């Protein structure tokens, strides 16, 4: 009998596609906010039917089937909430997020039957005493919060050699494009879930790259707003200087619609005080097609430092696309940030982490399972599951610090902010007369390695993250079936301008592909 030899490429393609046909048989595949709401307005479906369909898809794709593992908790009252919206449809139908299934990263407080865990077994049964300001705003806009997404535990600031997308409580989130690839952190579950059509929008949080990186690796759009645009009250913190929440979606339009529902001054978050003059209740006004022609985009030629020739090549191709649509490209001579800025950013994060966590634990009341950072460290030491892959060096470093009372804390904040703002982004924007700075967001997804941690080579999130300035990423193209994003960032409060640029790029050069859940084996 003749021996038949099948190539690895053939097996990869055949078995990958064979298992995925049913995974993408979904009534609302790639639907956006507008398309879902048009069904409501024409009475072709109900909120309850839509929410039920998404919950069924989560069960079939996330919990079973390919087992994406992007969602930690399902809201047990989701159908009840949906049914109540159907009964109030006449009064609420014009709400911007009416009947939209929304997923929250599991470090955002909700006062309901869902705990808020940061992915930690220590907070498995931790139920906040009130909604976060953000959750409250989303509910007021008509959203149905259907669940909480998995994340890199403690927003990826627990210990060295961590694996993005893994948490002690939630396990490992898989990349929906190729399942053995990483999702990046820390909003890993939010990125993977939205890419896999498990919700319409998700909320992530970022201190440095945790919205834009998972958006890039999972082929979706992610906006990291200016720090102070969205309240952080009720969100488990790392850094009061750099933390922000932000929307993740499959289209720029959905980013614009959802962003307007989240913004606002909150007296309990001092960073938001005074933001009213700079925010917009409706960011859809920026969905125009004049975001490329005549615009000056600066880029650092050595952005990847040779870390990825394939990313370099894709970015050069994208620069030509921008040029073909009338953009003016300007090469920036030097890196935007100095080593001192990076070091100071890490210093302030360590100091603010201690105070922020202790304040958050106090907000949980006298019956909180964990009451301070020292108790958290002790819990982890006594848990086989928590420390099975990597340690908690960052927690321990923070616990030993004096917090924001450290004598070098104020200096660290000043160095980080001046170096990233006046001497960083602001300086480059003024010197080169730029409308925005662009860069590849990061590389394509690497193979997940629980033993050795992330194989992360470069990213462009640092400048905007440390400065507290806005950035937006969206698909730029694909490398070996894996998405790679392009980031646009600019000065403080310039979300509208960035939305226009991203929307124009998206419409002129659409790159979003539905993931096929390839095995990668």
208 to each of 45, 342, 376, 456, how far by Cα in Å? 40, 11, 23, 14
User: What pLDDT is recorded for position 16?
Assistant: 45
Residue 18 has pLDDT above 80, yes or no: no
Catalytic residue among 126, 152, 195, 210: 210
Question: Quick one: tokens of 41?
Answer: 């307005």
pLDDT in tens, 382-413: 999 999 999 999 999 999 999 999 999 999 99
105 is catalytic: yes
Beta sheet of 296-300, edge-to-edge order: 71-74, 144-149, 101-105, 201-206, 244-249, 221-224, 471-479, 482-489, 436-440, 296-300, 328-332
pLDDT in tens, 113-157: 999 999 999 999 999 999 999 999 999 999 999 999 999 999 999
Do 180 and 173 touch, CB atoms closer than 8 A?
no
User: What pLDDT is recorded for position 308?
Assistant: 84
186 is catalytic: yes
CA distance 269 to 228: 8
Do 319 and 329 touch, CB atoms closer than 8 A?
yes
CA distance 354 to 397: 9
Under the banding of pLDDT at 50, 70 and 90, the label for residue 177 is very high
Residue for token digits 């403080």? 492
Catalytic residue among 120, 152, 186, 240: 186
User: What pLDDT is recorded for position 14?
Assistant: 37
Residue 13 has pLDDT above 60, yes or no: no
pLDDT in tens, 430-453: 999 999 999 999 999 999 999 999
Q: For 15-24, 33-42, 62-71, 477-486, which range has the lowest pLDDT when averaged over its residues?
A: 15-24
Residue 8 has pLDDT above 80, yes or no: no
CA distance 518 to 271: 43
pLDDT in tens, 93-119: 899 999 999 999 999 999 999 999 999
| 3-class DSSP state of 232 | coil
User: What pLDDT is recorded for position 142?
Assistant: 97
Under the banding of pLDDT at 50, 70 and 90, the label for residue 72 is very high
pLDDT in tens, 413-430: 999 999 999 999 999 999
Under the banding of pLDDT at 50, 70 and 90, the label for residue 22 is confident
Residue 7 has pLDDT above 60, yes or no: no
Residue 162 has pLDDT above 50, yes or no: yes
157 to each of 164, 393, 456, how far by Cα in Å? 10, 9, 15
CA distance 444 to 434: 28
Which is nearest to 215 in space by CA: 466, 460, 508, 509?
460
pLDDT averaged over every residue in the chain: 94
Phi-psi region of 100 (alpha: psi -120 to 50; beta: other; left: phi over 0): beta
210 is catalytic: yes
User: What pLDDT is recorded for position 47?
Assistant: 98
Catalytic residue among 105, 271, 295, 492: 105
Q: What are phi and psi of 95, to 5 degrees?
A: -65, 140
User: What pLDDT is recorded for position 93?
Assistant: 83
């Amino acid at each position: 009998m003749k021996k038949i030899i099948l190539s690895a490429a053939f097996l990869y393609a055949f078995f990958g596609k064979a298992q995925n046909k049913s995974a993408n048989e979904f009534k609302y595949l790639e639907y956006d906010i507008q398309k879902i709401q048009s069904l409501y307005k024409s009475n072709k479906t109900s909120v309850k039917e839509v929410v039920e369909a998404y919950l069924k898809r989560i069960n079939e794709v996330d919990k079973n089937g390919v087992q994406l593992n992007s969602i930690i908790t399902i809201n047990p009252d989701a159908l009840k909430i949906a049914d109540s919206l159907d009964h109030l449809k006449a009064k609420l139908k014009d709400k911007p997020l009416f009947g939209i299934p929304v997923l929250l990263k599991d470090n955002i407080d909700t006062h309901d039957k869902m705990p808020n865990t940061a992915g930690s077994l220590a907070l498995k049964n931790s139920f906040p005493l009130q909604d976060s300001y953000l959750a409250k705003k989303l509910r007021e806009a008509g959203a149905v919060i259907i669940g909480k997404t998995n994340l890199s535990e403690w927003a990826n600031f627990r210990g060295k050699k961590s694996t993005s997308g893994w948490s002690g409580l939630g396990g490992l989130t898989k990349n929906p494009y190729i399942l053995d690839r990483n999702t990046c952190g820390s909003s890993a579950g939010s990125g993977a879930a939205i890419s896999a059509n498990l919700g319409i929008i998700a909320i992530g949080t970022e201190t440095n790259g945790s919205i834009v990186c998972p958006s890039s690796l999972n082929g979706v759009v992610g906006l990291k707003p200016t720090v102070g645009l969205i309240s952080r009250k009720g969100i488990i913190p790392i850094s009061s200087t750099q933390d922000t929440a932000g929307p993740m979606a499959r289209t720029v339009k959905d980013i614009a619609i959802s962003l307007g529902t989240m913004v606002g001054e909150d007296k309990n978050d001092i960073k938001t005080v005074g933001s009213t003059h700079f925010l917009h209740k409706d960011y859809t006004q920026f969905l125009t097609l004049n975001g490329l022609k005549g615009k000056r985009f600066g880029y650092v030629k050595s952005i990847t430092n040779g870390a990825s020739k394939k990313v370099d090549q894709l970015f050069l191709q994208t620069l030509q696309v921008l040029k073909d649509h009338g953009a003016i490209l300007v090469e920036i001579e030097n890196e935007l940030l100095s080593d001192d800025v990076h070091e100071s950013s890490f210093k302030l994060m360590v100091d603010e982490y201690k105070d922020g966590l202790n304040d958050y634990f106090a907000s949980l009341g006298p019956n909180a399972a964990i009451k301070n950072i020292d108790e958290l460290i002790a819990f982890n030491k006594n848990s086989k599951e928590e420390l099975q892959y990597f340690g908690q060096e960052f927690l321990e470093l923070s616990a030993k610090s004096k917090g924001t009372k450290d004598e070098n804390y104020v200096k660290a904040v000043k160095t980080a902010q001046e170096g990233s703002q006046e001497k960083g982004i602001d300086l480059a924007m003024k010197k080169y007369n730029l409308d925005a700075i662009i860069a590849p967001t990061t590389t394509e997804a690497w193979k997940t390695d629980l033993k050795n941690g992330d194989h992360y080579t470069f990213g462009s999130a640092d400048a905007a993250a440390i400065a507290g300035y806005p950035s937006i990423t969206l698909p730029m193209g694909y490398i070996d079936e894996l998405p790679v994003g392009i980031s646009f960032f600019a000065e403080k409060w310039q979300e509208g301008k960035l939305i226009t640029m991203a929307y124009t790029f998206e419409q002129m050069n659409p790159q979003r592909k539905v993931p096929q859940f390839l095995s990668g084996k």
